Amino acid sequence: MGIREIMKYFVIWRGLLFIFLFLALYYLPLQKNFLGGGLENYLEKPYLWAWANFDGEHYLAIAKEGYKPLTYFYFPVYPISTRLFAGLIGGSFYSYVVSGLFLSHAAFFIGLIGLVRLIRLDYKKDIAITTVFLLLLFPTSFYFGSFYTESLFLALVVWSFYFARKKRWILAGLFGAIASATRIVGVVLFPALVVEAWGDRRDKEDRRNWGMKIFGVFLIPIGLFFYMYYLKSTTGDPLEFLHSVGIYGEQRSTQIILLPQVFYRYIFKILPNINYDYFPVVFTTWLEFLTAVLFGGLGLLGILGGLKRLRKIRIRLSYLIFLVLGYIIPTLSGSFSSMPRYVLILFPGFILMAVYLNELKSSYRYFFFCVLFILLGIATALFVRGYWIA
């Protein structure tokens, strides 16, 4: 699967998102509360500003004006990068959204290239193609083309793993360090790549480079430490990004909530009591829950495969650690809210999905793709018209 083929699928995906946007402009009423560029900009250029709704509004403000109270939850690499690009093309408010969207699209394309190369180290081409299809058709994949960190973070993560697999540990560590300053989940790369490094300990040639391995792996949390130092110097609290979770209201807790408790909340309290007469809330809540079930199940499949209980569903231990920890960390706040977006960067889950689907009849696989396509259309249409998705 070469770069041209990846580009073809990338362009088709981007074109589909624009089709969903144009249909939504005609058929869905606009929710005006969380439009990234404000109502006036949205009405003038919806094809541009619609991709900066909700959290995109915060990243846009940080990129242009810097951090303000209750925005420290948003890590700095994406807004800083956006600011740098915007400065090159004039520094106007318009240039910021253009720069951020350019960064997101470029990073996603580069991330897809890295993902395919990473998959091909262990699997045949058909697994790589299915994984890419699953990622592009996932109901929240539009975030990769929005003013959000998902595309940049995915690119950093997959290339960090790729360089680790190629034993280029300094590059793996540098990409990991940038990732840990892009999203808090970036620190999960540290235990994952420790395991990856430890797995090669019997290789005599590799043992000579053990010092380089250690140095590279220990670069990973430096990005987070730099951000914590900045927070300490400006707010007095190096963990302010955790305490800023209060901006999400009662749906997030500053105390640790265990995963079984979160499932209990959804099954017995949230799902039975939502307003089933209001489709956007029904769609979003069930999408949160089903995404949590799906990726929880994928994590379980990976664990069973690691224990050799499933012969054909196997994945590297370092990938499994990234998948499981990357899945659990967002749930500790007590909610699956945003889970449909957070799982986008859990590439091992998509690989496991591809491996499992490729064991099924092609008709089942195509049916699953069709379901994802429909859900992607609905989710994209709702998001670009100002309805909360994730």
Question: Per-residue confidence of the chain (390 residues) as pLDDT tens digits?
Answer: 789 999 999 999 999 999 999 999 999 999 998 898 889 999 999 999 999 999 999 999 999 999 998 899 999 999 999 999 998 888 888 999 999 999 999 999 999 999 999 999 999 999 999 999 999 999 999 999 999 999 999 999 999 999 999 999 999 999 999 999 999 999 999 999 999 998 766 665 566 678 888 999 999 999 999 999 999 999 999 999 888 665 555 555 557 889 999 999 999 999 999 999 999 999 999 999 999 999 999 999 888 876 666 666 678 999 999 999 999 999 998 999 999 999 999 999 999 999 999 999 989 999 999 999 999 999 999 999 999 999
pTM, 2 dp:
0.94
CA angle (49 as vertex; 43, 54 as ends), nearest 5: 110
* 3-state helix vs strand vs coil in the chain, percent to 5: 75, 0, 25
Six-digit token string for 270: 């949230």
Domain boundaries, the chain: 257-359
Six-digit token string for 73: 């939850």
Q: Collapsing DSSP states into helix, strand and coil, what is residue 51? A: helix
Residue among 55, 180, 166, 156 nearest 108 (CA): 156
DSSP structure string for 123-151: S-HHHHHHHHHHHHHSTTGGGGGSSSSHH
What pLDDT is attached to residue 95? 94
CB atoms within 10 A of CB 355: 21
DSSP structure string for 176-236: HHHHHTT-GGGGGHHHHHHHHHHTTTT-HHHHTTHHHHHHHHTTTTHHHHHHHHHHHHHHS
Tell which phi-psi region holds residue 88, choosing left (phi > 0), alpha (psi between -120 and 50) or beta.
alpha
What pLDDT is attached to residue 254? 59
What pLDDT is attached to residue 160? 98
What pLDDT is attached to residue 37? 86
DSSP structure string for 338-381: THHHHGGG-HHHHHHHHHHHTTS-HHHHHHHHHHHHHHHHHHHH
Six-digit token string for 160: 């960090």
